[in-house]
Structure 1
């Protein structure tokens, strides 16, 4: 049985997205779907959109195989509920596969399930999450992360990606592909793909480091070390790194790599330029280094992305 935990002011798609994935996958696989919406207080639970879901109480959860925790505007209040935290901890002790969607990671973190584990959450929550839960190994640019039997996903629609990955584990790749087609998903994203196309989307251009990031994007063939960036920002390297992480939720090194990956991806997919030349001009220098970066970000090397773009 799959349980979906909601609370007042949850994000509707955090719950309905995974529910639809598992419902369709179960039908394709020829197995009856067993999905239950759960809440601390049974009855109608109002989402942030005003739409309600009818939920059962936590004691009626039954024997769960998977527990998916939604996020949303009400997540901070929910993460302070002793009953919800006890329920999540008990599920982990029983060996239940547990996942969070979007800011639902706050509930898992508050329950201690993410201590020492890799996880992700919505990019807008990243700076606050990092400061609140320093024991969590947050990977802020991931669509979803799996660390053992604990899964977490990025903002809202990423819960669908996470659920499809679980379907692959439960029913196999073919059922997962058919489910994605039924949902009219053009291209199912891998867990390693960036939450958004460019780091510059993380903050408005008027943000503290906006001009610096814009400049870095135009000078990707430069070294762009921390020392180089700090000097341009007029800060010491240590102060620059702390301030950059606090504002953007990622390190300068990862930020530069993501800018390089995005520009390189655009050139790989839209031109016939040699891979080696793309690697050199975007600052990777070595094509093998760029290949490894692409695999981390997109789950496939540059040549595969180019072939897919041409086929599309």
Structure 2
């Protein structure tokens, strides 16, 4: 599989090196296992001969326009962790050139992939219009605001949609690289994961901080404060709207626009977050269930398993 990694100045160092190291490890393990040739032919490409990373390291790059037709182009993240930094980066001249080049590659039938902030470049180029995608959970409200035609599910770690693959937050680069290895050989992917100590994770849900996302919008932030004060009570959309002095439809539309979920779903996320904290603090499950508004411990236990993919024992161990 021939892969071109499109690198721009200010690239997130860990994202780039994670991709390179995972593909290199896969090649070494495949050859050690008797493969006739390395499964991955990887080349770093860019718009200048030398790329300066966010940590001021320099890496050589082949000309993006001169690269032979690869199977895939992968876009690692730029080192832009905040809304303002990202918006400034998207307006850069080289980023604009990258978006044009991505569209041209896609028209040639080349697969396109990106992780974390790199997914914004794909969306900004129009390649994700009407497609399923994920992105870094911390900037998902901005993603929904800028790209309303993209079917975003920021709870997922990796999403493949019609020849375009997106992956979640920073270390999602690792999950993206493993996705490629899995396409070549599921057995090799398992071996690489063991050598690199990579856990199997299909969701970002357990890492999302609901109140961080709520701060993206004044009304949603007020709703988040109300919800935290009422976690032990049964949820009522009408009660929430009355307390915030808005119509129920306004609250419903705003949370769905900003968070991609209903007020009830966000309320349940806050319950899960609080329950995790209490479990890790050593509270017994009956007490936890009472404090977050569930009738019994078994209901809460099932909810935690379904939402987080982990049981109470694992949560206590991690705590």
Q: Please indicate the TM-score interval, normalised by the length of the shorter structure.
A: 0.7 to 0.9
Corresponding residue number in structure 2 for 1:63: 69
Q: Please say if residues 5 and 38 of structure 1, whose CA atoms lie closer than 8 Å, have aligned partners that are also in contact.
A: yes
Offset at 1:253? 3.5
Structure 2 gap ranges (5+):
32-36, 81-87
Distance verdict in 2 for CA 1:81–1:200, change over 3 Å: closer
> Pick from 155, 160, 168: which aligns with 1:154?
168
Q: Please say if residues 7 and 78 of structure 1, whose CA atoms lie closer than 8 Å, have aligned partners that are also in contact.
A: no
Q: Tell me whether 1:34 sits opposite 2:41 in the alignment.
A: yes
Measure the CA separation in 2 of the matches of 1:260 and 1:169. Answer: 37
Measure the CA separation in 2 of the matches of 1:284 and 1:55. Answer: 59
Corresponding residue number in structure 2 for 1:232: 243
Q: Which has the larger radius of gyration?
A: 2
Q: Number of matched residues?
A: 301
1:184-235 Cα distance to aligned partner (Å, 9 max, x none): 33x3321x2316253124356xx76556435534644533243332223232
Q: Please say if residues 255 and 261 of structure 2, whose CA atoms lie closer than 8 Å, have aligned partners that are also in contact.
A: yes
Offset at 1:160? 0.9
Corresponding residue number in structure 2 for 1:202: 213
Distance verdict in 2 for CA 1:45–1:218, change over 3 Å: same
Offset at 1:106? 1.9
Offset at 1:76? 0.2
Measure the CA separation in 2 of the matches of 1:200 and 1:264. Answer: 15
Q: How does 1:215-294 map to 2 (within 5 A)?
A: 215-217=226-228, 219-220=230-231, 222-244=233-255, 250-263=261-274, 273=285, 283=294, 294=305
Q: Please say if residues 75 and 107 of structure 1, whose CA atoms lie closer than 8 Å, have aligned partners that are also in contact.
A: no
Measure the CA separation in 2 of the matches of 1:289 and 1:166. Answer: 36
Measure the CA separation in 2 of the matches of 1:2 and 1:278. Answer: 49
Q: CA RMSD in A?
A: 3.8
Offset at 1:89? 2.3
Distance verdict in 2 for CA 1:249–1:95, change over 3 Å: same
SS at match of 1:38: strand
Measure the CA separation in 2 of the matches of 1:193 and 1:285. Answer: 27
Corresponding residue number in structure 2 for 1:109: 123
**Residues 69-78 or 265-274, more deviating:** 265-274
TM norm structure 2: 0.76
Corresponding residue number in structure 1 for 2:5: 4
Q: Tell me whether 1:120 sits opposite 2:134 in the alignment.
A: yes
Corresponding residue number in structure 2 for 1:44: 50
Q: Tell me whether 1:15 sits opposite 2:16 in the alignment.
A: yes
TM norm structure 1: 0.77
**Residues 120-129 or 243-252, more deviating:** 243-252
Distance verdict in 2 for CA 1:309–1:292, change over 3 Å: closer
Measure the CA separation in 2 of the matches of 1:147 and 1:26. Answer: 26
